[in-house]
A and B are shown apart, each in its own frame.
Chain A
Amino acid sequence: MKPTEALTIAWEAVLKNKIRSLLTMLGIIIGVSAVIIMVAISAGTEATIQDQITSLGSNLVFVQSSMMRGGPGQAQQGGLVYDDAAAIEDGVTGVTAVVVEQNSSETIKYGDVTLEDVEILGTTVGFPSVRDMEISDGRYFNDQEIERKSKVVVLGYSLAQELFGETNPIGQYVKIGNTKQAVIGVFTEKGLVGNTDFDSRAYLPISVVFQKFTPSQFARFMGDSVRMIYVEVDPDANLDNIITQIELLLVKRHDVTLDSADFSVTTQQDIISTQESTTAAFRSLLAWVAGVSLIVGGIGIMNIMLVSVTERTREIGIRQSIGATPNDIRIQFLTEALLLSIIGGLIGVLVGVGGAYIFGALSDMRTVISVSSILLAFGSSAIVGAFFGYYPADQASKLDPIEALRYE
């Protein structure tokens, strides 16, 4: 029997039982489309993370307070202070810019609109450039306004929308906590980066935040606490060297040891690695799920092929009586199983690609369809078909001609 003839017989058998063939393929269809959709989702997630990381701004070192200095009445000590920023800028070589950030949570009012627990971010002039933010209306505050503790505010995109709707916010006054602040600018939409929503925050001169929202009795002696210092470094500089310099400097300033430091220094690379290990775990979980569904699909094929062999015992007997060898019979049924799984695989690819596309379009999640996942899913469906099709085909080939012919 030539391969083309085996294929013709298999194709006819598949067509003769359309519904059953389709049901047999269902497991493979689900398995293959699951692989493609899941890989598309995790690739999409990765791409989103990559984009976010790029939009964090390049060559940033994050110096973070690991202990917050207490609010009024709390005698906690430690953490970063405002002057640390200047010390880093002056004392570390290879630093191009330093931005400081301190936050609080306040109620914001404009007219009838009251928004509670809005994040108030006090920061410095370098912030938009370091965090890759753009002003869409008005302007950002300047050094003089920080020095004079001017009551100005720049709104995040969605915060401006919620407070003002159609009204032009520039020049209007909003009430933040108990202070009136003039809106001087609005940022363009930025979206979520990691867990941070850049669009729902109000950006104020850091001096105003110190004075109005995070006053501390220790400030007079030790300086105002800050949450974070962004250090932008020369792209050509040695990052490890800079980190070491920063650590040494702060350890000395805070009079602590590295082991008991009240700050932590991380780089974008660290953030990338954490995110990547999360997605890698996610991806391998998905791969397992998809792989299991492919195996279940294969067992489905085996099951139906066993039924098919039993049902067609007489056909097998007839073929044997006119000269089919055991191998001819084995090839016939193996080809049929392969054909079912390959057609199932093809339909699965269509469903998977379509499903990933629709899923990406309808949900917040991004999907990236990769050719390699299509090849992988399709290839494994063929392997699954051959693997699970072999046993029924072998059973068929071992039938005794006379018993097969006698089968009712």
Chain B
Amino acid sequence: MSAAHSIIKTVGITKVYGMGDIQVAALNGVNIDIHQGEFVAIMGPSGSGKSTLMHILGCLSQPTAGQYFLDGEDVSQLDKVQLASVRNQKIGFIFQAYNLLARTTALQNVTLPFLYNRVNPKTKEESLKKARTMLELVGLGSRMNHQPHELSGGQQQRVAIARALINDPVMVIADEPTGNLDTRSGTEIMNLLHQLHEQGTTIVMVTHDPKTAVHTQRTINLVDGQVDTITHNGKHRIETAEVPYEAN
């Protein structure tokens, strides 16, 4: 393995939904390891547990069993308040549905994470200054005071990316970031993510589109809540997972 410092390391993560008679095991022993600066795609059929995994990696929910080390810290036992702090400090989450606050300007949306930043509190001026820089970075310097309903889907997703980056997270997690976009806007968002990757940001992204996936370094294929195959896109090499179902 590479010497680069591990950002994500999961050990036998499972997630079981439903407390009663009907239990759904959305994840069934997932072991993955993602290094600093990597750009990883997660693929798999619908219902294979991609979103469930992203929610756990994004500290939005806790695994039923297993361990999750984020940036070296075991976060699988943290309480709600500690998880909130981890989300604020270490994770930038990008959603398929953008999830911007309605009737709130792009600039205010981007500054929002500062509101809950207790570790490095910033003054209002500092937050606004940084938010402007981030919006310029994603190419929305001229749309700062627009509200979501005044922006196209692609532009809204750029605002969401700016928001994800504002607290200097250790990684960005994106669940189908281009899923709601047409091909052109989708390509623009992918280019933006590539640009961020080249600047050193660690990115984990769920996608349905193999053409999008090949532009990442690695593709992790999930099937039935387990890692099925891992593809190294640059080298076109196929590795088998720890618990293989069938080799292909």
Residue of A with least CB distance to B121: A2
Any B CB within 8 A of the CB of A314: yes
A322 contacts B80, CB within 8 Å? no
Please indicate the chain B residues that have their CB under 8 angstroms from the CB of A321 in the complex.
58, 60, 87, 93, 95, 99
In the complex, how many angstroms separate the beta carbon of B143 from the nearest chain A beta carbon? 19
Q: Judge whether A324 and B81 touch: CB under 8 Å.
A: no
> For residues 349 through 408 of chain A, which have their beta carbon under 8 Å from a beta carbon of chain B?
400-402, 405
Most B-side CB within 10 Å, residue of A314, A322, A324: A322
Interface stretch among A79-87, A159-167, A325-333, A338-346? A325-333
Q: Are A323 and B61 in contact (CB under 8 A)?
A: no
Across the interface, B89 reaches (CB within 8 A) one of A16, A323, A400, A401, namely A323
Mark each residue of chain B from 48 to 61: 1 if its CB lies under 8 Å from any CB of chain A, else 0: 00000001001011
Check: B115 CB closer than 8 A to any chain A CB. Answer: yes
A321 to B100 Cα, complex, angstroms? 11
* B243 proximal to A (CB < 8 A): no
Whether B95 lies near A325 (C-beta < 8 A) is no
Please, which residues of chain B bring their CB within 8 A of the CB of A319?
112, 116
A401 to B55, CA, bound (A): 10
Asked, given contacts A318-B99, A322-B87, A326-B81, whether A402 binds B55 with beta carbons under 8 Å apart, the answer is yes
Contacts of B112 in A (CB 8 A): 318-319, 322
Give residues of chain A (302-323) contacting chain B, Cβ–Cβ below 8 Å: 314-315, 317-323
Does B87 lie within 8 Å of A323, measured CB to CB?
yes
Interface residue B103 (Cβ < 8 Å from any Cβ of A) = yes
List chain A residues, Cβ under 8 A from B113: 322-323
> B163 at interface (Cβ–Cβ under 8 A)?
yes
Q: Does B151 contact A (CB under 8 A)?
A: no
Structural contact, B115 and A317, CB atoms closer than 8 A: no
When chains A and B are docked, how far (Å) is the Cα of A326 from the Cα of B79?
Answer: 11
- B178 close to A (CB within 8 Å): no
Per the bound structure, the CA–CA distance linking A1 and B103 in Å amounts to: 21
The answer for the CA separation of A400 and B62 in the assembled complex, in Å, is: 11
Query: Bound state CA distance, A3 and B101, in angstroms?
Result: 21
Name B37-74 residues within 8 Å CB distance of A: 55, 58, 60-61
C-alpha spacing A3/B148, complex, angstroms: 27
Contact B115 A326 (CB under 8 A): no
Which B residue's beta carbon lies closest to that of A12? B104
Determine if A323 and B99 form an interchain contact, defined as CB atoms under 8 angstroms apart.
Answer: no
Q: How far is the CA of A327 from the CA of B80 in the complex (A)?
A: 10
B84 within 8 A of A: yes
Residue of B at shortest CB range from A398? B80
Return B167 CB to nearest CB of chain A, in Å.
8
A315 to B103, CA, bound (A): 11
Q: With A and B bound together, what is the CA distance between A16 and B85 in angstroms?
A: 29
Complex CA distance for A402 and B54, rounded to whole angstroms: 11
Point out the residues of chain B lying under 8 angstroms from A322, CB to CB.
87-88, 93, 112-113, 116, 163
With contacts A322-B88, A401-B61 taken as known, whether A1 is within 8 angstroms of B116 at the C-beta atoms is: yes
Mark B22-49 against chain A: 1 for CB-CB distance below 8 A, else 0.
0000000000000000000000000000
User: Is residue B195 within 8 Å, beta carbon to beta carbon, of the partner chain?
Assistant: no
Q: Contact mask B92-129 → A, CB, 8 Å, 1/0?
A: 01010001111100000000110111000000000000
Chain A residues within an 8 Å CB radius of B163: 322
B97 — nearest CB in chain A belongs to which residue? A405
Q: B150 to chain A: closest CB distance in Å? A: 16
In the complex with contacts A401-B61, A402-B55, A402-B61, A324-B99 CB distance below 8 A: no
Per DSSP, are chain A's interface residues mostly helix, strand or loop, or mixed?
Answer: helix
Residues of chain B within 8 A (CB-CB) of A314 are 99
Among candidates A1, A315, A327, residue contacting B115 with C-beta atoms closer than 8 Å: A1
Q: Across the interface, which residues of B come within 8 angstroms of A1, CB to CB?
A: 115-116
Write the chain B residue with the least CB distance to A321: B93
- Specify the chain B residue showing the minimal Cβ separation from A397: B80
- CB of A112 within 8 Å of the partner chain: no
Q: Indicate whether A5 reaches chain B with its CB closer than 8 angstroms.
A: yes
Query: Using a CB-CB cutoff of 8 Å, which residues 131-179 of chain B contact chain A?
Result: 163, 167
Q: Which residue of B lies closest to A401 (CB)?
A: B60
Q: How far is the CB of B203 from chain A (nearest CB, A)?
A: 17
B189 to chain A, nearest CB (A): 19
Q: Whole-angstrom distance from the CB of B131 to the nearest CB of chain A?
A: 13
Q: How far is the CA of A87 from the CA of B73 in the complex (A)?
A: 105
Name the A residues within 8 Å of B85 (CB-CB).
323, 325
A383 to B112, CA, bound (A): 30
What is the CA–CA distance of A320 and B103 in the complex, to the nearest angstrom? Answer: 18
List the A side residues contacting B102 at CB < 8 Å: 315
For the complex, what is the distance from the CA of A316 to the CA of B103, rounded to whole Å? 15
Closest Cβ of chain B to A255, distance in Å, is 90
The smallest beta-carbon distance between B119 and chain A, in angstroms, is: 10
Which chain B residues lie closer than 8 Å to A318 at the CB level?
99-101, 112
B residues sitting closer than 8 Å to A (CB atoms) are: 55, 58, 60-61, 80-81, 84-85, 87-89, 93, 95, 99-103, 112-113, 115-117, 163, 167
Please name 22 pairs of A and B residues whose Cβ atoms are closer than 8 Å in the assembled complex, sorted by A: A1-B116, A314-B99, A317-B99, A318-B99, A318-B100, A318-B112, A320-B84, A321-B93, A322-B93, A322-B112, A322-B113, A323-B89, A323-B116, A324-B116, A325-B80, A328-B116, A401-B60, A401-B61, A402-B55, A402-B61, A405-B60, A405-B95
Q: Beyond A1-B115, A321-B87, A322-B88, list 5 extra A-B contacts (CB 8 Å).
A: A325-B84, A325-B116, A401-B61, A402-B55, A402-B60
Interface on A for B, CB 8 Å cutoff? 1, 5, 16, 314-315, 317-328, 400-402, 405
Ranked nearest first, the 8 interchain pairs of A and B with the lowest CB-CB distance are A323-B88, A323-B116, A325-B84, A322-B113, A401-B60, A325-B81, A323-B87, A318-B99
